[in-house]
Copies of this chain bind each other. A is one copy, B any other.
Amino acid sequence: VGGVTAFVDERSSLVALAHCVEPGDGVIGAHVRRRGAQETLARISRSADGLRQAAGLMARLDASRWERADERAAQVGARIVTRLDREWPSQLDDLEHAAPYALWVVGAADLRLIALRSVAIVGARSCSQYGENVARTWSALLVDEHWSVVSGGAFGIDSAAHRGALAADGVTVCVLAGGVDVPYPRAHDALIARIADEGLVISETPPGESVRRQRFLSRNRVIAAISRATLVVEAAERSGTIATARAATQMSRPVMAVPGPVTSPVSAGCHRMIRDGEAVLVSSSDEVMAHLDLGFAGRQGGAPPPAPRSPDEGRVLDALPARGSRSVDSVVAACGLAADTVIMCLGSLEVQGAVTNVGDGWRLVKR
Protein backbone atom coordinates (compact mmCIF):
# COMPACT_ATOMS: atom_id res chain seq x y z
CA VAL A 1 0.00 0.00 0.00
CA GLY A 2 1.43 3.30 -1.13
CA GLY A 3 1.05 5.41 2.03
CA VAL A 4 2.79 3.16 4.51
CA THR A 5 6.31 4.49 4.17
CA ALA A 6 5.06 8.05 4.64
CA PHE A 7 3.85 7.54 8.25
CA VAL A 8 7.16 8.99 9.32
CA ASP A 9 6.06 10.47 12.60
CA GLU A 10 3.19 10.63 15.03
CA ARG A 11 1.89 14.02 13.90
CA SER A 12 1.68 13.15 10.21
CA SER A 13 0.03 9.89 11.23
CA LEU A 14 -2.65 11.80 13.15
CA VAL A 15 -3.22 13.97 10.09
CA ALA A 16 -3.46 10.86 7.93
CA LEU A 17 -6.05 9.34 10.27
CA ALA A 18 -8.10 12.54 10.05
CA HIS A 19 -8.27 11.90 6.29
CA CYS A 20 -9.60 8.37 6.42
CA VAL A 21 -11.40 7.75 9.74
CA GLU A 22 -14.91 9.08 10.15
CA PRO A 23 -15.12 11.59 13.06
CA GLY A 24 -16.10 9.99 16.34
CA ASP A 25 -15.13 6.43 15.34
CA GLY A 26 -14.37 5.02 18.76
CA VAL A 27 -12.82 1.75 17.54
CA ILE A 28 -9.92 3.33 15.70
CA GLY A 29 -9.79 5.97 18.44
CA ALA A 30 -9.22 3.29 21.05
CA HIS A 31 -6.36 1.83 19.02
CA VAL A 32 -4.77 5.26 18.69
CA ARG A 33 -5.01 5.93 22.40
CA ARG A 34 -3.44 2.59 23.20
CA ARG A 35 -0.70 2.42 20.56
CA GLY A 36 -0.41 5.87 19.06
CA ALA A 37 -1.37 7.01 15.56
CA GLN A 38 1.79 5.79 13.82
CA GLU A 39 1.49 2.23 15.06
CA THR A 40 -2.29 2.17 14.44
CA LEU A 41 -1.78 3.25 10.83
CA ALA A 42 0.94 0.68 10.32
CA ARG A 43 -1.41 -2.02 11.60
CA ILE A 44 -4.26 -0.75 9.44
CA SER A 45 -1.97 -0.86 6.40
CA ARG A 46 -1.13 -4.49 7.27
CA SER A 47 -4.87 -5.14 7.82
CA ALA A 48 -3.86 -6.38 11.24
CA ASP A 49 -5.94 -6.71 14.40
CA GLY A 50 -9.00 -7.90 12.54
CA LEU A 51 -9.94 -4.34 11.68
CA ARG A 52 -12.64 -5.20 9.20
CA GLN A 53 -12.68 -1.72 7.74
CA ALA A 54 -8.88 -1.65 7.17
CA ALA A 55 -9.08 -2.03 3.41
CA GLY A 56 -11.68 0.71 3.14
CA LEU A 57 -9.63 3.03 5.31
CA MET A 58 -6.49 2.49 3.25
CA ALA A 59 -8.41 3.02 0.02
CA ARG A 60 -9.80 6.25 1.39
CA LEU A 61 -6.39 7.35 2.60
CA ASP A 62 -4.80 6.63 -0.74
CA ALA A 63 -7.52 8.60 -2.51
CA SER A 64 -6.92 11.60 -0.25
CA ARG A 65 -3.98 13.94 -0.65
CA TRP A 66 -3.12 13.70 3.03
CA GLU A 67 0.67 13.96 2.52
CA ARG A 68 0.15 17.49 1.27
CA ALA A 69 -2.37 18.36 3.98
CA ASP A 70 -0.41 21.31 5.44
CA GLU A 71 0.05 22.78 1.99
CA ARG A 72 -3.61 22.32 1.17
CA ALA A 73 -4.65 23.81 4.52
CA ALA A 74 -2.55 26.89 3.80
CA GLN A 75 -4.34 27.25 0.48
CA VAL A 76 -7.66 27.68 2.31
CA GLY A 77 -6.14 29.90 5.00
CA ALA A 78 -6.08 27.15 7.61
CA ARG A 79 -3.50 25.51 9.86
CA ILE A 80 -3.63 21.96 11.16
CA VAL A 81 -3.56 21.48 14.90
CA THR A 82 -3.01 18.05 16.48
CA ARG A 83 -2.50 17.05 20.08
CA LEU A 84 1.22 17.37 19.38
CA ASP A 85 0.84 21.07 18.56
CA ARG A 86 1.00 23.81 21.13
CA GLU A 87 -2.38 25.23 20.05
CA TRP A 88 -4.26 21.98 20.80
CA PRO A 89 -6.96 22.56 23.46
CA SER A 90 -6.18 19.86 25.99
CA GLN A 91 -9.82 19.55 27.06
CA LEU A 92 -10.45 17.78 23.73
CA ASP A 93 -8.74 14.78 25.31
CA ASP A 94 -11.83 14.44 27.53
CA LEU A 95 -13.45 12.92 24.43
CA GLU A 96 -11.14 9.94 24.95
CA HIS A 97 -11.60 7.40 22.11
CA ALA A 98 -13.75 9.86 20.17
CA ALA A 99 -11.25 12.75 20.28
CA PRO A 100 -10.43 14.33 16.91
CA TYR A 101 -7.07 13.40 15.37
CA ALA A 102 -6.57 16.89 14.01
CA LEU A 103 -8.37 20.19 13.70
CA TRP A 104 -8.26 22.55 10.74
CA VAL A 105 -8.26 26.06 12.18
CA VAL A 106 -8.90 29.33 10.35
CA GLY A 107 -8.42 32.63 12.20
CA ALA A 108 -5.78 34.70 13.93
CA ALA A 109 -6.62 33.86 17.53
CA ASP A 110 -4.95 31.06 19.50
CA LEU A 111 -7.46 28.19 19.74
CA ARG A 112 -6.02 26.84 22.99
CA LEU A 113 -6.24 30.20 24.72
CA ILE A 114 -9.68 30.97 23.35
CA ALA A 115 -10.98 27.59 24.45
CA LEU A 116 -9.75 28.18 28.00
CA ARG A 117 -12.46 30.80 28.53
CA SER A 118 -15.17 29.59 26.21
CA VAL A 119 -18.83 28.75 26.54
CA ALA A 120 -20.93 26.90 24.00
CA ILE A 121 -24.24 28.55 23.17
CA VAL A 122 -26.41 26.14 21.24
CA GLY A 123 -30.01 25.53 20.42
CA ALA A 124 -32.82 24.94 18.00
CA ARG A 125 -32.56 25.88 14.33
CA SER A 126 -36.24 26.76 14.24
CA CYS A 127 -36.01 28.92 17.33
CA SER A 128 -38.43 31.58 18.51
CA GLN A 129 -37.83 35.31 18.43
CA TYR A 130 -37.50 35.09 22.20
CA GLY A 131 -34.75 32.48 21.99
CA GLU A 132 -32.93 34.43 19.30
CA ASN A 133 -32.99 37.55 21.48
CA VAL A 134 -31.66 35.68 24.49
CA ALA A 135 -28.87 34.02 22.48
CA ARG A 136 -27.80 37.30 20.87
CA THR A 137 -27.89 39.50 23.97
CA TRP A 138 -26.35 36.99 26.40
CA SER A 139 -23.61 36.17 23.90
CA ALA A 140 -22.72 39.87 23.70
CA LEU A 141 -22.73 40.18 27.49
CA LEU A 142 -20.49 37.11 27.83
CA VAL A 143 -17.87 38.36 25.37
CA ASP A 144 -17.93 41.69 27.23
CA GLU A 145 -16.60 39.67 30.16
CA HIS A 146 -13.87 38.10 28.00
CA TRP A 147 -15.64 34.84 27.36
CA SER A 148 -15.54 33.42 23.88
CA VAL A 149 -18.67 31.90 22.40
CA VAL A 150 -18.55 28.52 20.64
CA SER A 151 -21.35 27.35 18.37
CA GLY A 152 -22.11 25.46 15.18
CA GLY A 153 -22.99 28.16 12.65
CA ALA A 154 -26.49 26.76 12.11
CA PHE A 155 -29.71 28.68 11.59
CA GLY A 156 -31.51 29.88 14.68
CA ILE A 157 -29.82 29.94 18.08
CA ASP A 158 -26.31 29.13 16.76
CA SER A 159 -26.11 32.07 14.39
CA ALA A 160 -27.74 34.41 16.92
CA ALA A 161 -24.99 33.48 19.39
CA HIS A 162 -22.25 34.09 16.80
CA ARG A 163 -23.80 37.41 15.74
CA GLY A 164 -24.16 38.61 19.32
CA ALA A 165 -20.47 37.94 19.95
CA LEU A 166 -19.42 39.66 16.73
CA ALA A 167 -21.63 42.67 17.48
CA ALA A 168 -19.83 43.10 20.79
CA ASP A 169 -16.40 42.75 19.14
CA GLY A 170 -15.81 39.44 20.88
CA VAL A 171 -14.21 36.22 19.76
CA THR A 172 -16.53 33.51 18.55
CA VAL A 173 -15.66 29.99 17.40
CA CYS A 174 -17.65 28.24 14.69
CA VAL A 175 -17.24 24.46 14.61
CA LEU A 176 -18.22 23.13 11.19
CA ALA A 177 -19.35 19.59 10.35
CA GLY A 178 -17.64 19.71 6.92
CA GLY A 179 -14.37 21.25 5.80
CA VAL A 180 -13.47 24.80 6.87
CA ASP A 181 -13.76 25.80 3.20
CA VAL A 182 -17.26 24.34 2.94
CA PRO A 183 -19.45 26.83 4.82
CA TYR A 184 -22.70 25.25 5.91
CA PRO A 185 -25.48 26.24 5.72
CA ARG A 186 -24.64 28.02 2.49
CA ALA A 187 -26.84 30.96 3.45
CA HIS A 188 -24.34 31.63 6.26
CA ASP A 189 -21.18 31.83 4.15
CA ALA A 190 -20.84 35.58 4.78
CA LEU A 191 -21.35 35.04 8.53
CA ILE A 192 -18.83 32.19 8.61
CA ALA A 193 -16.32 34.25 6.64
CA ARG A 194 -16.70 37.07 9.14
CA ILE A 195 -16.19 34.63 12.03
CA ALA A 196 -12.96 33.44 10.34
CA ASP A 197 -11.83 37.08 10.08
CA GLU A 198 -12.59 38.03 13.67
CA GLY A 199 -12.62 34.71 15.50
CA LEU A 200 -12.04 31.08 14.59
CA VAL A 201 -13.61 28.59 12.21
CA ILE A 202 -12.59 25.02 12.94
CA SER A 203 -13.34 21.50 11.75
CA GLU A 204 -12.03 18.01 12.30
CA THR A 205 -12.71 17.08 8.67
CA PRO A 206 -10.21 18.05 5.95
CA PRO A 207 -10.89 20.90 3.49
CA GLY A 208 -13.32 19.95 0.76
CA GLU A 209 -15.21 17.44 2.93
CA SER A 210 -18.97 17.81 2.75
CA VAL A 211 -21.36 17.70 5.69
CA ARG A 212 -23.14 14.45 6.41
CA ARG A 213 -25.87 13.63 8.88
CA GLN A 214 -23.57 11.70 11.20
CA ARG A 215 -20.98 14.46 11.10
CA PHE A 216 -23.36 16.93 12.78
CA LEU A 217 -23.52 14.68 15.82
CA SER A 218 -19.73 14.29 15.80
CA ARG A 219 -19.35 18.04 15.44
CA ASN A 220 -21.66 18.60 18.41
CA ARG A 221 -19.40 16.56 20.69
CA VAL A 222 -16.45 18.77 19.67
CA ILE A 223 -18.47 21.87 20.56
CA ALA A 224 -19.21 20.36 23.97
CA ALA A 225 -15.60 19.27 24.53
CA ILE A 226 -13.86 22.45 23.48
CA SER A 227 -16.07 24.65 25.71
CA ARG A 228 -15.89 24.96 29.46
CA ALA A 229 -19.68 24.80 29.71
CA THR A 230 -22.71 24.51 27.47
CA LEU A 231 -25.68 26.84 27.48
CA VAL A 232 -28.84 25.56 25.78
CA VAL A 233 -31.09 28.46 24.84
CA GLU A 234 -33.92 26.54 23.19
CA ALA A 235 -34.20 22.90 22.23
CA ALA A 236 -36.89 20.56 21.08
CA GLU A 237 -36.85 17.07 22.54
CA ARG A 238 -34.68 14.42 20.79
CA SER A 239 -32.67 17.12 19.02
CA GLY A 240 -29.00 17.51 18.20
CA THR A 241 -28.89 20.18 20.87
CA ILE A 242 -29.90 17.68 23.54
CA ALA A 243 -27.11 15.42 22.26
CA THR A 244 -24.60 18.26 22.66
CA ALA A 245 -25.78 18.79 26.23
CA ARG A 246 -25.48 15.07 27.01
CA ALA A 247 -21.93 15.04 25.63
CA ALA A 248 -21.06 18.01 27.86
CA THR A 249 -22.50 16.23 30.89
CA GLN A 250 -20.53 13.08 30.10
CA MET A 251 -17.37 15.20 30.17
CA SER A 252 -18.38 16.79 33.50
CA ARG A 253 -18.94 20.17 31.91
CA PRO A 254 -21.67 22.35 33.44
CA VAL A 255 -24.83 22.39 31.33
CA MET A 256 -27.22 25.32 31.63
CA ALA A 257 -30.62 25.82 30.05
CA VAL A 258 -32.81 28.86 29.55
CA PRO A 259 -36.48 28.52 30.55
CA GLY A 260 -39.23 29.88 28.37
CA PRO A 261 -42.99 29.82 28.04
CA VAL A 262 -44.44 26.34 28.64
CA THR A 263 -46.49 26.95 25.50
CA SER A 264 -43.33 27.07 23.35
CA PRO A 265 -42.31 23.68 21.87
CA VAL A 266 -38.70 24.84 21.47
CA SER A 267 -38.45 25.35 25.23
CA ALA A 268 -39.67 21.82 25.94
CA GLY A 269 -36.18 20.30 25.80
CA CYS A 270 -34.82 22.96 28.16
CA HIS A 271 -37.63 22.41 30.64
CA ARG A 272 -37.21 18.64 30.55
CA MET A 273 -33.46 18.92 31.14
CA ILE A 274 -33.99 21.31 34.06
CA ARG A 275 -36.69 19.12 35.59
CA ASP A 276 -34.56 15.99 35.29
CA GLY A 277 -31.47 17.67 36.70
CA GLU A 278 -29.57 17.46 33.39
CA ALA A 279 -29.24 21.23 33.20
CA VAL A 280 -29.24 24.12 35.63
CA LEU A 281 -31.83 26.82 35.05
CA VAL A 282 -30.24 30.18 34.25
CA SER A 283 -32.24 33.34 33.78
CA SER A 284 -29.52 35.92 33.06
CA SER A 285 -26.02 36.13 31.63
CA ASP A 286 -24.82 36.94 35.15
CA GLU A 287 -26.11 33.58 36.31
CA VAL A 288 -24.33 31.95 33.37
CA MET A 289 -21.05 33.54 34.44
CA ALA A 290 -21.55 32.56 38.06
CA HIS A 291 -21.85 28.97 36.85
CA LEU A 292 -18.85 29.25 34.57
CA ASP A 293 -16.78 30.35 37.55
CA LEU A 294 -18.11 27.38 39.51
CA GLY A 295 -17.10 25.16 36.61
CA PHE A 296 -13.56 26.45 36.84
CA ALA A 297 -13.47 26.05 40.59
CA GLY A 298 -14.50 22.41 40.29
CA ARG A 299 -11.86 21.42 37.76
CA GLN A 300 -8.20 20.64 38.03
CA GLY A 301 -5.95 22.33 35.54
CA GLY A 302 -8.60 24.81 34.49
CA ALA A 303 -7.72 28.40 33.75
CA PRO A 304 -7.77 30.34 36.99
CA PRO A 305 -10.53 32.88 37.47
CA PRO A 306 -9.36 36.47 37.86
CA ALA A 307 -7.22 36.32 40.97
CA PRO A 308 -4.34 38.07 42.72
CA ARG A 309 -1.33 38.06 40.38
CA SER A 310 0.95 35.07 40.84
CA PRO A 311 4.78 35.06 40.69
CA ASP A 312 4.55 33.27 37.31
CA GLU A 313 2.24 35.96 35.98
CA GLY A 314 4.78 38.54 37.09
CA ARG A 315 7.53 36.76 35.13
CA VAL A 316 5.31 36.61 32.03
CA LEU A 317 4.52 40.32 32.35
CA ASP A 318 8.25 41.08 32.69
CA ALA A 319 8.91 39.12 29.50
CA LEU A 320 6.56 41.29 27.45
CA PRO A 321 8.14 44.33 25.79
CA ALA A 322 7.22 47.87 26.84
CA ARG A 323 6.19 48.59 23.28
CA GLY A 324 5.00 46.21 20.59
CA SER A 325 4.17 42.55 20.96
CA ARG A 326 5.90 39.22 21.45
CA SER A 327 4.95 35.72 20.35
CA VAL A 328 4.16 33.05 22.93
CA ASP A 329 7.27 31.07 21.92
CA SER A 330 9.40 34.14 22.42
CA VAL A 331 7.85 34.79 25.85
CA VAL A 332 8.51 31.16 26.77
CA ALA A 333 12.15 31.56 25.80
CA ALA A 334 12.46 34.87 27.66
CA CYS A 335 10.86 33.97 30.99
CA GLY A 336 12.06 30.39 31.31
CA LEU A 337 8.63 28.97 32.21
CA ALA A 338 6.95 26.00 30.53
CA ALA A 339 4.83 26.84 27.50
CA ASP A 340 1.65 25.64 29.22
CA THR A 341 2.34 27.86 32.22
CA VAL A 342 2.95 30.87 29.99
CA ILE A 343 -0.30 30.26 28.15
CA MET A 344 -2.25 29.97 31.38
CA CYS A 345 -0.68 33.15 32.71
CA LEU A 346 -1.47 35.06 29.52
CA GLY A 347 -5.08 33.90 29.70
CA SER A 348 -5.38 34.99 33.29
CA LEU A 349 -3.64 38.32 32.65
CA GLU A 350 -5.96 38.96 29.71
CA VAL A 351 -8.95 38.47 31.99
CA GLN A 352 -7.39 40.94 34.42
CA GLY A 353 -7.07 43.39 31.54
CA ALA A 354 -3.26 43.47 31.83
CA VAL A 355 -2.38 42.00 28.42
CA THR A 356 -4.09 41.64 25.10
CA ASN A 357 -3.81 39.27 22.16
CA VAL A 358 -2.75 40.96 18.92
CA GLY A 359 -3.13 38.17 16.39
CA ASP A 360 0.21 36.36 16.46
CA GLY A 361 1.47 37.80 19.72
CA TRP A 362 0.76 39.47 23.04
CA ARG A 363 1.32 42.98 24.29
CA LEU A 364 0.90 44.90 27.52
CA VAL A 365 -2.28 46.93 27.93
CA LYS A 366 -1.44 50.57 28.59
CA ARG A 367 -3.20 51.98 31.66
Residues of A within 8 A of B (CB): 130, 133-134, 258-263, 267-268, 271-272, 274-275, 280-284, 287
Our pick among B133, B258, B271, B284 for the contact of A283 (Cβ within 8 Å) is B271
In the complex, the 9 A-B pairs of residues with the closest C-beta atoms, listed nearest first: A259-B259, A262-B283, A271-B283, A275-B281, A274-B281, A130-B261, A271-B281, A260-B261, A259-B271
Closest chain B residue to A258, Cβ basis: B262
Chain B residues in 8 Å Cβ range of A274 = 259, 274, 281
Report the minimum CB–CB distance from A263 to chain B (whole Å).
Answer: 7
Closest chain B residue to A274, Cβ basis: B281
Inter-chain CA distance A283–B273, complex, in Å, is: 12
Report the minimum CB–CB distance from A160 to chain B (whole Å).
Answer: 15
Using A258-B262, A275-B281, A275-B287 as known contacts, list a sample of 13 further A-B pairs with CB atoms less than 8 Å apart, ordered by residue number in A. A130-B261, A130-B263, A133-B263, A134-B263, A259-B261, A259-B271, A260-B261, A260-B262, A262-B283, A271-B281, A271-B283, A274-B281, A281-B281
A280 touches B284 (CB 8 A): no
* Interface CB pairs A-B, < 8 A, 25: A130-B261, A130-B263, A134-B262, A134-B263, A259-B259, A259-B260, A259-B261, A259-B262, A259-B267, A259-B271, A259-B274, A260-B261, A260-B262, A261-B261, A262-B283, A262-B284, A267-B283, A268-B283, A271-B283, A272-B283, A274-B274, A275-B281, A275-B282, A275-B283, A281-B281
Inter-chain CA distance A260–B263, complex, in Å, is: 9
Inter-chain CA distance A319–B272, complex, in Å, is: 46
Inter-chain CA distance A275–B275, complex, in Å, is: 10
Report the minimum CB–CB distance from A157 to chain B (whole Å).
Answer: 14
Chain B residues in 8 Å Cβ range of A130 = 261, 263
B261 touches A281 (CB 8 A): no
Inter-chain CA distance A261–B134, complex, in Å, is: 10
Closest chain B residue to A271, Cβ basis: B283
Inter-chain CA distance A192–B249, complex, in Å, is: 50
Chain B residues in 8 Å Cβ range of A133 = 263
Report the minimum CB–CB distance from A365 to chain B (whole Å).
Answer: 33
Closest chain B residue to A272, Cβ basis: B283
Which of A267, A271, A281 is packed against the most chain B CB atoms within 10 Å?
A281
Which of A133, A260, A268, A272 is packed against the most chain B CB atoms within 10 Å?
A260
Report the minimum CB–CB distance from A271 to chain B (whole Å).
Answer: 4
Report the minimum CB–CB distance from A239 to chain B (whole Å).
Answer: 16
Report the minimum CB–CB distance from A277 to chain B (whole Å).
Answer: 10
Inter-chain CA distance A283–B268, complex, in Å, is: 8
Inter-chain CA distance A1–B56, complex, in Å, is: 103
Closest chain B residue to A275, Cβ basis: B281
Chain B residues in 8 Å Cβ range of A287 = 275
Report the minimum CB–CB distance from A122 to chain B (whole Å).
Answer: 17
Inter-chain CA distance A263–B285, complex, in Å, is: 12
Inter-chain CA distance A262–B282, complex, in Å, is: 8
Chain B residues in 8 Å Cβ range of A259 = 259-262, 267, 271, 274, 281
Chain B residues in 8 Å Cβ range of A280 = 275
Which of A134, A261, A272, A284 is packed against the most chain B CB atoms within 10 Å?
A261
Inter-chain CA distance A281–B262, complex, in Å, is: 10
Report the minimum CB–CB distance from A201 to chain B (whole Å).
Answer: 30
Inter-chain CA distance A280–B275, complex, in Å, is: 7
Inter-chain CA distance A282–B282, complex, in Å, is: 16
Report the minimum CB–CB distance from A260 to chain B (whole Å).
Answer: 6
Chain B residues in 8 Å Cβ range of A275 = 280-283, 287
